[in-house]
Structure 1
Amino acid sequence: MSSGINWGPDVDEGLSARLDEGMDRVEEMLRDIVKSQHALLTRASQHLMLAGGKRFRPMLALLTAEFGDVADARVVPGAVACELTHLASLYHDDVMDEADVRRGQPTANILWGNKMAILTGDFLFAQAAEIGLELGPKASELYNRVAKRLIFGQFREMVGPGPNQDKMDHYLHVVTEKTGVLIRASCEVGALMAGVDPELAEALGEFGEQLGVAFQFADDLIDVAADAEQLGKRPGNDLRAKVASLPVLHFRAMATAEDARLSELLDSDLAEDDAALEEALSLLRKHPAMARTQDDLDERVDRCLAILDGVPAIPARSALKQLAESMRDRRS
């Protein structure tokens, strides 16, 4: 499996070839590890994996391993554990959000019901945890920390901000725990399994966390700006679920009397009213809140690049910089 990324002239050809080879091994291990003695569980576990996806997290693990011994046998399993954890969280997210489409395919909860989707997510979490145990105490401790923070993030999102809590502060906590923490872990596990110095592994982890936050900011923009074909699912999912995404938070803070119609729409139930949802999306796309969200995204990318300025100047650093820069104008 090719990495699927056009790295451009600044990324070493040897690195690109190693990444393609590593991703082939990741894909092979993913296919094997989701098999179980129960045919239905195997089919449900393979559902999202076979639907595609960028494999962004294992790619990061392979890239950060380049700062140490990338050939260490623990690197690929560590990368696989990150992807399994990500896939598991998607099964649970789709149940929580009552989503019906993911990656252009019906969600597991639509095909097999919520109970089966939850059990499938649990199975994938368990498979990832088993890999962590096999890789040793560092990987196991990292995995346990990530699993807890993912749960905390989902819980925070579900209960919403407290009565005296700033809504933007709440949002940033949720984003960091639901998205930033796993991308951070992907960067850390690749480095640690390759024997990278702990201080450098920590810096790469911090890069990953900032990249994860940027990734979510971009997702929030895409959910408003993209069409269904680009997105692989219907746009406006956050609006339907009344999730306070970054553009909505900025809109609420910036809204004037002229924005009364959009405020009215965002306060209404958009889950069953496609015409109202389309109107809300159209108005939000034109609002300065979108530019403010883009500014926040650019600032997080700048943080990523500043961190990378302090790590060794090997080809993998150029690739990581390119990945960070690509967040500025993601479209899917």
Structure 2
Amino acid sequence: MTDSSVTPISWNHHELVLLDQRILPAQESYVTCRDAGEVADAIRAMVVRGAPAIGISAAYGVVLAARKQQGEDPKVLEADFKVLAESRPTAVNLFWALDRMKRCLLELGQVDAEALEREAVAIHEEDLQANLHMGELGADLIEKSGRGNVLTHCNTGSLATGGYGTALGVIRSAYKRGLVEKVFADETRPWLQGARLTAWELCQDDIPVHLIADSAAAHVMKTCGATWVIVGADRITANGDVANKIGTYSLAVLARQHGVKFMVAAPSSTIDFSLTSGDLIPIEERDEDELKSLQGINIAPTGARAFNPVFDVTPAHLIDAIVTERGVVLSPDLDSMAALK
């Protein structure tokens, strides 16, 4: 039971079926992956996106590769691990999931597709349970500050995870308790994950949502009773700095200016304790045309260049709470984050 009507990742033992998030909400279409290369292509092309969902998909990609190499030496899967690892650079969940699958493979001593499948399914199921728990922990924080409106960025729901969602899971849990009146969802340029995906998910679950332009966030905080900004994360460093969808840093600065609390909800697999600060996080830059066009229509002059980083880093001192399935860190820093180890 996910408490959400959305199922973006389906596994049927021999194929990985992904809801194509590039064309939502206009069309619900699915992409079927039958080998690791096709999974990597789906991740790179944004068929599937969201840090936890990327990690889960990559784990199933390893299983698909293993089915063709049953009983062989683990080294035969090295190329498949490499192609999956190179699909997206910023989301640490991808590397966490691949490392977990690799440890399982090495412990087996040979390619055992059935055992690797059990590990991938466990990663998927554990993510869902983590999201459900995070939802309750985040709702507890909202309850302390009282009923109000929340603002969220990008998409952090069932589409981005193994089910229910991280930041959107918190919003779902809080709404069920009567703590959230309505949700303001940033459109999230250039891929419009807020407009196309978050608003769609909330409409599916009958949660009141108001879509806003990214640049309207300050006005909403000032005039519309927003009490929390709630976002997800693609990587969290040891000191509590957070890499998330481009525009998140701006929201944190605006929230601090307006006295609005700022919450990050993410599974512990998103924490990269090997990095001491957000300055060390690799920031993915994507093609200029993603920014210069919209659904295939040019919206900028041909001669204009575009700078298209798709993540930014929010420093820990702007974050009121990081919510994980292991617990809540208030005012994160090196010491408080270390407790999550």
Q: Settle same-fold status: TM greater than 0.5.
A: no
Which structure exhibits the higher relative contact order, with contacts defined as CA atoms closer than 8 Å and separated by 6 or more residues? 1
Greater fraction helix: 1
Q: What TM-score comes out, normalization by structure 2 length?
A: 0.30
Q: What TM-score comes out, normalization by structure 1 length?
A: 0.30
